[in-house]
């Protein structure tokens, strides 16, 4: 879908990949409804980008089903139409094994990553189906197709996003709505801090060993994939490589990622 003059709703727009997606789409001629939990993050985004009336901001929690249900009308009033939805908001879990993970952390990760994505999709899909051409894009993770020790529940939530999106792709195949799932690899964002999770010991060393993609570079890849209607979009060499390796040899891929994560888990 060519994004020029299209209205795209983006969750997690206050920073990271979401914030860079707002910038990239505005630069490509789109209009954006930026959604985030933190009002201050959206205010900073607006000051940084100076999007004028092509950028509207909407503060809400995507885990609030009633607030999400009311969002399409607010976007329609502000922008006049809605042509696309990018579910980018997400959080990680503490870097601990399942045996040590608290239930409240499990609930929070599933609520934000899976149910938030589902609520947004359900709320906007009827409006998107009414458009001549529209788009749903959900951001999963490399951890959504590859087991990552210390992020097992996060991975489960992103695997749920993956299959939800692939199911939507099948259901909407003969409609006007394009569907994509995004698998980011390691990206230099503040997701740990935004998730209320401290970076594990040894994280800096791991980052130097395995260079991270910048959020701007990831956003550029995602928007390019969107404009080509790609069903699957991989950002980062690690995501593309591990996808191939996991398909060829799941056990080998699992052992490799376990070895890489060992120093983070202790």
Q: What is the pLDDT of residues 58-114, one digit of tens each?
A: 999 999 999 999 999 999 999 999 999 999 999 999 999 999 999 999 999 999 999
How many Cα neighbours within 13 Å face the side chain of 245? Answer: 16
SS3 content of the chain, % helix, strand, coil (to 5): 55, 15, 30
For 73, other C-beta atoms within 10 Å of its C-beta total 11
Residues of the chain short of pLDDT 50, as ranges, are 204-208
Q: How far is the C-alpha of 174 from the C-alpha of 242, rounded, in Å?
A: 31
What pLDDT, on a 0 to 100 scale, did the predictor assign at position 205?
43
Task: Write down the catalytic residue from 135, 154, 169, 246.
Answer: 154
User: What is the predicted pLDDT for the residue at 209?
Assistant: 52
Sheet containing strand 7-11, strands side by side: 55-59, 31-36, 7-11, 84-87, 134-139, 177-184, 232-235
Active-site annotation holds for 246: no
Fold entry, domain 7-265: Rossmann fold (3.40.50)
């Amino acid at each position: 879908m060519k994004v020029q003059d299209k209205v795209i709703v983006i969750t997690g727009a206050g920073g990271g990949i979401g914030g860079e997606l707002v910038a990239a789409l505005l630069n490509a001629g789109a209009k954006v409804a930026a959604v985030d939990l933190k009002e201050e993050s959206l205010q900073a985004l607006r000051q940084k980008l100076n999007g004028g009336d092509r950028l509207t901001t909407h503060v809400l929690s995507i885990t609030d089903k009633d607030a999400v249900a009311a969002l399409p009308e607010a976007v329609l009033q502000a922008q006049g139409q809605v042509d696309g939805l990018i579910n980018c908001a997400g959080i990680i879990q503490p870097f601990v094994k399942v045996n040590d993970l608290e239930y409240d952390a499990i609930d929070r990760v599933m609520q934000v990553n899976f149910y938030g994505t589902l609520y947004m999709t359900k709320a906007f899909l009827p409006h998107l189906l009414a458009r001549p051409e529209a788009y749903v894009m959900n951001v999963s993770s490399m951890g959504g197709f590859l087991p990552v020790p210390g992020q097992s529940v996060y991975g489960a939530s992103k695997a749920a996003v993956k299959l939800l999106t692939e199911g939507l792709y099948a259901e909407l195949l003969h409609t006007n709505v394009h569907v994509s799932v995004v698998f980011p690899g390691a990206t230099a964002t503040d997701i740990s801090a935004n998730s209320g999770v401290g970076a594990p010991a040894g994280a800096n060393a791991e980052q130097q060993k395995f260079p991270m993609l910048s959020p701007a570079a990831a956003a550029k890849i995602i928007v390019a994939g969107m404009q080509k209607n790609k069903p699957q979009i991989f950002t980062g060499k690690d995501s593309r490589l591990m996808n191939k390796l996991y398909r060829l040899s799941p056990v080998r891929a699992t052992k490799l990622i376990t070895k890489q994560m060992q120093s983070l888990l202790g």
